[in-house]
Amino acid sequence: MTARVAILMGSDSDLERLLPAVQTLRDFGVEPTVRVLSAHRTPEQATGFAAQARENGLQVLLCAAGGAAHLAGVIAAHTTLPVLGIPLDNPPLGGMDALLATVQMPGGVPVGTLGVGRGGPVNAALLALRILAVSDAELAARLDAFRDQQRDKVLAKDAGLTSKLS
């Protein structure tokens, strides 16, 4: 089966923080392509990957980087596929630099930007799944079931809290 989603990171040191995104995709039956490609250290490989992504069957590209965080922008400049940026909360600025570098793209080069911190990678994976689900009814049904499970968990916690305080 051809991967439909790629997760790109600027350094392998980012992998641990991106494993929740990998797992989220796998939980929905989507096996991602996962690569280390740097906007600064491997620009030819990064741009080549982006330029060939659609031809290689990819439909959504997730790009994680900290610091200057140019990976998502460079990838977006070389493809018309949806690119979702995941700004990583690296020192010394705690991710503010990565957030601004990812979200402040010039007009004409869109990058959907997710939150800094733990929720960013999982939300990027879920947003990629939602994009795929536009044309995949089976995946859309799984996402509906996921939302129902989230609701049921919160309602169970609410009932437990109410019971505990009564």
**What would the pLDDT profile of 80-120 be if each residue is shown by its tens digit?**
999 999 999 999 999 999 999 999 999 999 999 999 999 99
- Supply the angle between the helices 137-165 and 119-133 in degrees, to the nearest 10: 140
Residue ranges in the chain whose pLDDT is less than 70? 1
- Give the helix ranges, DSSP H, for 9-136: 15-27, 43-52, 71-76, 96-103, 119-133
**Of 25, 113, 124, nearest to 69 (Cα)?**
113
- What pLDDT is recorded for position 2? 76
pLDDT at 160: 96
pTM higher than 0.85 for the full model? yes
